[in-house]
Structure 1
Amino acid sequence: MIILFLNCGSSSVRYSVYDWARKESLAAGLVERVTMPGTAITHERPGKDKVSFEKECKDHTEAVKLVVDTLINKEYGVINDVKLISAVGHRIVHGGKFAKSVLVDDAVMKELKEISDLAPLHNPAHIMGIEAAQKIIPGVKNICIMDTAFHQTMPDHVFMYALPYEWYTDLKVRRYGFHGSSVLYCAKRAAVLLGKKSNEVNVIVCHIGNGASITAVKEGKCFDTSMGLTPLEGLVMGTRSGDIDPAIPFYVMSKTGVSPDDMYNTLNKGSGVLAVSGKSADRRDVELAAEAGDQRCQLAVDMESYRIKKYIGAYAAALGRVDAVVWTAGVGERGPVIREKALRDLEYMGLEYDHDKNFSALTKNAESEITAPNSKVKSFVIPTDEEIVGVEDIVAILENRYDVHTKYTYIFEDKNYRNKLRDELFAKEIAKKPFLLKAAVNVPENIKNLVK
C-alpha cells in the first residue's frame, strides 16, 4: 500500500511517499514558489542523490501534477504507475471540531471551508491541495490529518477564553492547539521509553521549531497546550511573538497608523527571535552571534528559553505529577543551548539535568535521555515522526479499523518498533561521532558495536 502525503502552503507543496508493506519512506520533497516565477522542485530518496529542477506551476493543481510526474519518472521516480497510490493524505493545520483524521467527502470540505478564517495563512492552501489531488488522481481516496485533533480532549475550563460567550458559540473562538500529530507521536514514544502504557503517563512535550508549542499530556491525553485559536499564542517563536499584552497592537496602531493586516503580519512573521535578535530566526545563527558577544542575540536566547521554562513550570502544576519532559522538532531535537537554559534548576520538581548527555544529543536520528540516572522526572529528546502518524491513520481508515488515539494502538507504541532509515542514518553518524551514544537510548546492539 503506497501513501502519498501532502502538506500544502500558500506557495509550496511538501510531499512524502510511504510504502506501508515495507514500513519505509520512499521519497520526500518540496515544490517551492508555486504561483510565482521560478517554481522549483527538490526530490529526495533514501541513499540516492537529491534531484532538483525548475518547472513553472501557476497553481496548486500544476504543483501536485509535478509531484506525481516526479514520482513516476523513469529516471528518479519511486513508483511505476500513479494507480499504485492507495490514498492521498493531507496535513490540515486547523481541523476545527474534528477529533480524529477523516475521509474527505462533501461534508468535510464544507466544514474546512467554513473554518478557513481561523487559519487564513494555511487552510485555503490545504483545500486547494485536496482539490488538486482529486483532479490529478481521480478516484483516489483523500484523507485529512488534522493538526488540532489531538488537543480536542482539553476540558472546557482549559480551552475557553474569558471573552463574551457568544464569541465561542457564534464565532468558534476557543483554544484549539496545533502540532497534534507530533505531540501524539512523542507522548506515546515517551511512554515506551518509560516502560509504561500511554494512558499511564503525564508528560510535557516541547515542540520547538520555527513554530513552537508546549503541550501538557495527562494520562495520555491532551490537557492543555500553549497555542490557541491560532498558532500565534504561547511561546516566543522564530518569527511569532507568542504571548503578549493584547492591548499592545491597539496601542501601536493608534500611534503609528499601522493597519490591522500589517499588524497581524508583524505579529506572525516579523516578531519572535527574528525581531529581538535583529539578525535571524535561525537559532543556530542567533546562538553563534550570542556566543560572540551580540547582546540582542543573547537576549533572544534568554527570552525564548525563559518562556519555555515558565510553561514547563505551569504545566507541572497543572498536571500534578510529571513523568517526563520531551523535546522535539528542529530546535527541540538539535538545540542543546535552549534545552539547557530551560531545564536548569528544575530539581525542585524532581528533574536533574545532565549537561554532558544534553550536549551529546546532537542528532535528529536517535532518541536520547538528557537527565541524570537518578532523576525522578526524565527528559527525552525524541525525533518526531508526523509522517508515520498520518500514514497509519490513513491505512487504518482504508481498512476500516481506525479510531481516536485513546482507543487505537499505533505500531510505534511497541517497544521493539524500529525506524529503519533513522537507524541507518544514526549508524553513519556514530561511526564518525561515537560520543552520540552517550545520551542515546533504545539503540540496537549492531549499531552500538560500531564504536567497539
Structure 2
Amino acid sequence: MPARNILVINCGSSSIKFALVGEAQAQFPLSGIAERLGQPEAVLRWRRGDEKDCLAIPHAGHSAALAHLLPLVREASGGLLHGIGHRVVHGGEHFTAAQRIDAEVLEAIRAVAPLAPLHNPANLLGIEAAIEVYPDLPQVAVFDTAFHQTLPEHAYRYALPEVLYRDHGLRRYGFHGTSHHYVGQRAAELAGLPFEASNWLSAHLGNGCSTCAIVDGRSRDTSMGLTPLEGLVMGTRSGDVDPNLHSHLARTLGWDLARIERLLNHESGLLGLSGLSNDMRSLEQARADGHAGATLAIEVFCYRLAKSLAAMSCALPHLDGLIFTGGIGENSPLIRSKTVAHLRLLGLALDETANERCVRGTGGEIQATGHPRVLVVPTDEERQIALETLDLLDD
C-alpha cells in the first residue's frame, strides 16, 4: 500500500490551523494557518519545505478558507489525500477514542458544547466546512479529552452531590490528551520500554499547561478538570484558586460572573503575576534584567508545577521518567531546572549541560548520572491526530 496523506485541522472561532501529514515523511509537506476569518484582514499563510507564502482572503469564512487551501493540499499531496483528522477539544464521557464523523457523532459533539463553549462550536465549524469542501473524504474527530477517559472514578469525581455528576456531567475531564499520549509513547520508545508497561509523569507547558500521570499506556490522573482552567499556572489562566474566590469578588468588588471569568481566563497566570507578559521568553529576559514581577511569576509557575507533578506521582506504581514538552517545556532550561529542584524527594536531578542543550526541537535525556530519567520530548499533536485517523481508516 502506498504511503497515505492526512490533512489535520485545528479550528478556532476565527482561525484554522492545518498540517498535511505524510505517513512516511518526517516533515510536514504543508502546514499553516488561516486567520482573522470573517474579517477584511483575513489571510491564509502556509509553509512548504523552506518556502513561506501567504494569500489575502478578505472576509473569507471557514468554508471559503478551506476552498482556498484545497489547491495547496492537492499540490503538496500529489493529488492523494486519504482523510481529514479534526482536533475536537471536548468529547465528554461519550468518546473514549477517535471517531469517524457521522451525523450521530456531530450531534454528540454539539451536545457537550456547554462544557467547552469557546472550543467545541468552533471545532464544529471546521468539521462542517471540511465536509462541505471535501464531501468524499473520510473525516475523523480526535478528542483532547479521550486519552483521560481511563481516569479511575476517585481521580475524576469532584466532592459534589451525586446528582450534579449524574444529570449534568460535572466531573474532571482533562485536556492536552493528544499531546500527553504522543510524548508518553515517544518517551517509552526512546527509553527502550514498552509503552503499555511503563510509567511516566508528563508536563505539557505552553500558554496552556497541564500535567499527567501515565500508567501502562493509560492516563490515570491529570491536572486540568471540567474546563482547561483547573490546575497549573498558565499564560493568562490562573489555574487553581480558592473555589470561593467568585463569591468573594462579587461581594467585595461587585463583579459579575462574566467579569470574574475574564479575570481568571485572560488576565491572570503569568500575565497577572508579572504585570508584563504571558510569554515565558519575555519573562525570562525581564527576570535577567531584574524585573521583580517576572521573577515572581517564574517562581510561582515552577513551584506550582512541581507541586502538581508530586501530586500526580500518587497515581504511579513506580517512576520510569519525567517528560517535559510543549513550547515552554521544550525550550526553557530555566523552567526545567527550577521545577526539578523542587522535586528532590522524588530523587530527580539534572545534568545542566544536557539540559541547556535541549532547545529548539532538540530533545533527549537530561537527568544527572544515577538519578531517575528526565526527558525533553518535542510534542507532535498533528502527527498523533493523523496516526489516530489512519488507525480508524484501517478498521
1:80 deviation in Å? 5.0
Distance between the aligned counterparts of 2:155 and 2:380, measured in 1?
27
Distance between the aligned counterparts of 2:364 and 2:62, measured in 1?
39
Distance between the aligned counterparts of 1:290 and 1:238, measured in 2?
16
2:366 is aligned to 370
1:173 deviation in Å? 0.9
* More moved, 132-141 vs 229-238: 132-141
Summarize the alignment of residues 342-421 of structure 1 with structure 2, pairs less than 5 Å apart: 342-364=339-361, 366-375=362-371, 377-400=372-395
Q: Which amino acid aligns with 1:374?
A: G
Distance between the aligned counterparts of 1:55 and 1:61, measured in 2?
12
Q: Which amino acid aligns with 1:115?
A: V
Cα distance per residue 1:124-177 (max 9 Å; x no partner): 000011110111112211100111111111000100001121111111111111
Asked if the contact 1:33/1:40 (under 8 Å) is kept, the reply is yes
Give the alignment partner of residue 90 of structure 1, picking from 86, 89, 100: 86
Distance between the aligned counterparts of 1:305 and 1:108, measured in 2?
39
Asked if the contact 2:57/2:65 (under 8 Å) is kept, the reply is no
1:20 is aligned to 23
* More moved, 354-363 vs 232-241: 354-363
Asked if the contact 2:329/2:376 (under 8 Å) is kept, the reply is yes
Distance between the aligned counterparts of 1:24 and 1:315, measured in 2?
33
Q: Which amino acid aligns with 2:228?
A: P
Asked if the contact 1:104/1:142 (under 8 Å) is kept, the reply is yes
Asked if the contact 2:142/2:385 (under 8 Å) is kept, the reply is yes
Q: Which amino acid aligns with 2:92?
A: G
Matched, 1:268 2:258: no
1:285 is aligned to 282
Distance between the aligned counterparts of 2:66 and 2:59, measured in 1?
9
Cα distance per residue 1:249-282 (max 9 Å; x no partner): 2211233332212321221111100111111110
2:169 is aligned to 172
Matched, 1:32 2:35: yes
* Gap regions ≥5 residues in structure 1: 401-452
Distance between the aligned counterparts of 1:158 and 1:210, measured in 2?
25
2:48 is aligned to 45
1:66 is aligned to 68
Cα distance per residue 1:178-225 (max 9 Å; x no partner): 111111111111112222111221110000000000001122211100
Aligned residues: 391
Q: Which amino acid aligns with 2:201?
A: I
2:319 is aligned to 322
Distance between the aligned counterparts of 2:278 and 2:105, measured in 1?
35
Asked if the contact 1:57/1:63 (under 8 Å) is kept, the reply is no
Matched, 1:231 2:231: no
1:58 deviation in Å? 4.0
1:78 is aligned to 76
1:424 is aligned to none
* Gap regions ≥5 residues in structure 2: none
1:428 is aligned to none
Asked if the contact 2:45/2:52 (under 8 Å) is kept, the reply is yes
Identity %, equivalent residues: 38
Q: Which amino acid aligns with 1:273?
A: L
Q: 1:80 to 1:317 in 2, by over 3 A?
A: closer
Distance between the aligned counterparts of 1:22 and 1:326, measured in 2?
25
Q: Which amino acid aligns with 2:29?
A: L
* More moved, 35-44 vs 339-348: 339-348
1:304 is aligned to 301
SS in 2 for 1:25: coil
Matched, 1:240 2:237: yes
Distance between the aligned counterparts of 1:191 and 1:293, measured in 2?
40
Q: Which amino acid aligns with 1:394?
A: T
Distance between the aligned counterparts of 2:304 and 2:87, measured in 1?
28
Q: 1:355 to 1:24 in 2, by over 3 A?
A: closer
SS in 1 for 2:374: strand
Distance between the aligned counterparts of 1:137 and 1:367, measured in 2?
37
SS in 1 for 2:211: strand
Cα distance per residue 1:300-352 (max 9 Å; x no partner): 00000000111121122332421111000100000111111100153432222
Q: 1:355 to 1:22 in 2, by over 3 A?
A: closer
Q: Which amino acid aligns with 1:254?
A: R
Query: What RMSD over aligned residues (CA atoms) do the two structures have, in Å?
Result: 1.5
2:249 is aligned to 252
Distance between the aligned counterparts of 1:172 and 1:69, measured in 2?
42
2:11 is aligned to 8
Cα distance per residue 1:77-122 (max 9 Å; x no partner): 42454xx322111001111121110000111011000000100111
Asked if the contact 2:306/2:342 (under 8 Å) is kept, the reply is no
* More moved, 18-27 vs 245-254: 18-27
Q: TM-score, normalised by structure 1?
A: 0.84
